[in-house]
Amino acid sequence: MPTKQPVAIVFDTFGTVVDWRSSLIADLTAYGTSRDIEADWPALVDAWRAAYHPSMDRVRKGERPWTRLDDLHRASLDQLIADFGIQGVTEADRVHINLGWHRLHPWPDSIPGLTRLKSRFIIGPLSNGNVSLLLNMAKFAGIPWDMIFGSDLFHHFKPDPETYLGVAALLDLSPGQVMLGAAHNGDLAHARTCGLMTAFFPRPTEYGPHQKRDTKAEQDWDIVATDIQDMATQLGM
Amino acid sequence: MPTKQPVAIVFDTFGTVVDWRSSLIADLTAYGTSRDIEADWPALVDAWRAAYHPSMDRVRKGERPWTRLDDLHRASLDQLIADFGIQGVTEADRVHINLGWHRLHPWPDSIPGLTRLKSRFIIGPLSNGNVSLLLNMAKFAGIPWDMIFGSDLFHHFKPDPETYLGVAALLDLSPGQVMLGAAHNGDLAHARTCGLMTAFFPRPTEYGPHQKRDTKAEQDWDIVATDIQDMATQLGM
């Protein structure tokens, strides 16, 4: 157990709490079948996620004004539908497919682990998703957040310090009273720079069976766990 | 049942969901006894609440910059301790007393009614309280909000339209898909002007046994109920 305990724990969400890749592949494959739309859905999902960081970086660098992740996702989707030459995709289909990011399933340990943590700590997502995306996901998947920290509250994407420090400010806590839980060493490194406590657990199949990144802790994080259940145990729950 | 259903229901909080007056009188009376501080606590609580609207109005009119409700409460408290001539109140006492607004108890129907509504609707407070106040209150009282809409998300207090419309924007909903539940006709009138649906239920002892205001509906609100349980029933839950 760390010698100090946080008051609030916020979690990266895509990959850390929910399995975006498997969820989207299953969701879109079923939808494509029902709508008779032919596409290589796994390849589309991987390309869509690959467009994620570059699209946010254009906002972070000031090359485009503040844009919610839903709208970045939609712009990337439209481009990929054209690039992949997918035929017969209506506007209603695009809206439905884009909202696939609201219909992601949690990893098996996420709900039981978060439920345990919620009994002692304030818990919430700290995600690049917008509030409506994260809230719809929580209702869909049954994630018991106390509060939703979407990037549209700050008009900044991670790893801008305004996100990590913005959470502490809204909670009226010092950064050191807030812990970030994440399956991504880079996110934790930025949080640590801002003074937050840190917890790492790997999600070795987030990017599919051949994942190389983030398979283990790359710093001496305050907690290194196997998953959110183990994290709760290490916090004395 | 109204012919249309909302997607999200937000609630005024002080008086509507929690019984601020009885809670604070009990909390401060017990604290005063434990700390040997003599005061007319019921009179202090009533005077503190009476300072609420004038203090927010100074912010709303631009006479002072954005200030969180916790800080407005603290300034009013310091003034009242001086005005009432209360002796022996340390800085730690003032911090504890001010956080009394985070330790308010719900009306008996609030938790069961909100729990029923949460199974179909997005629910949250839309309050002049700041996020940390409302979140600490939810943890203290067991209020099962999906999301916390504190006034510090908007840097505006009700009835500024930025609050009602800001909720709809964060939820990516039209104002007409959002309902405000409140025990205050004035709050509902402003929400209706912004296009929100409206639900009224009275809290006839909010201000104590001699309350005259808001004992009944003053417009044909979409729902007029006896309490939040009845509101849930009228919404078909």
Cβ atoms B200, B224 nearer than 8 A: yes
Distance between CA atoms of residues A160 and A163, nearest Å: 6
Helix (H, G, I), strand (E, B) or coil at B122: strand
Cβ atoms B202, B223 nearer than 8 A: no
Mutate: best of A130, A133, A170, A177, partner B, most B CBs <10 A: A170
Amino acid at B188: L
Do B8-19+104-234 and B20-102 fold alike per CATH? no
Q: Which CATH superfamily is domain A8-19+104-234 in?
A: HAD superfamily/HAD-like (3.40.50.1000)
pLDDT at B1 over 90: no
| C-alpha distance from B66 to closest chain A C-alpha (Å) | 14
| Mean pLDDT calculated for residue range B204-229 | 96
| Mean pLDDT calculated for residue range B120-130 | 98
Cβ atoms B153, A153 nearer than 8 A: yes
| Mean pLDDT calculated for residue range B128-136 | 98
Architecture, CATH, for domain A20-102: Orthogonal Bundle (1.10)
| pLDDT given for residue B3 in this prediction | 77
To which residue do tokens 């604070």 refer?
A: B24
Predicted confidence (pLDDT) per residue in A144-184, tens digit: 999 999 999 999 999 999 999 999 999 999 999 999 999 99
Give per-10-residue mean pLDDT for chain A (237 aa): 89 98 98 97 97 95 96 98 97 98 98 98 98 98 98 97 98 98 98 98 96 96 98 96
> Where do the domains of chain A lie?
8-19+104-234, 20-102
Residue B72, number of CB atoms within 10 A of its CB: 21
Radius of gyration of chain B (CA): 18
| pLDDT given for residue A204 in this prediction | 97
Within 8 A of B138 by CB-CB distance, chain A residues are 146
Residue of A70, A131, A171 lying closest to B147 (CB–CB): A131
| Mean pLDDT calculated for residue range B55-72 | 96
Residue of B135, B170, B173 lying closest to A122 (CB–CB): B135
Residue B104: which pLDDT band, with cuts at 50, 70 and 90? very high
**Interchain pair B132, A70: CB under 8 A:** no
What chain A residue is nearest to B154 in terms of C-alpha separation? A153
Within 8 A of A171 by CB-CB distance, chain B residues are 131-132, 135
pLDDT at B198 over 80: yes
DSSP conformation class of B115: H
DSSP conformation class of A14: B
Cβ atoms A234, A1 nearer than 8 A: yes
Interface of A with B in 164-183 (CB under 8 A): 170-173
Maximum C-alpha span of chain B: 58
| pLDDT given for residue A189 in this prediction | 98
Strand A197-200 and strand A122-125: the pairing is unpaired
A61: Cα within 13 Å, side-chain hemisphere: 7
Mutate: best of B170, B173, B177, partner A, most A CBs <10 A: B170
Distance between CA atoms of residues B18 and B113, nearest Å: 13
| pLDDT given for residue A3 in this prediction | 77
Helix (H, G, I), strand (E, B) or coil at B103: coil
Percent of all residues in chain B with a pLDDT value above 90, rounded to a whole number: 98
Residue B26: which pLDDT band, with cuts at 50, 70 and 90? very high
| pLDDT given for residue A118 in this prediction | 98
Cβ atoms B156, B134 nearer than 8 A: no
Q: Is B137 on the interface with A (CB under 8 A)?
A: no
| pLDDT given for residue A1 in this prediction | 67
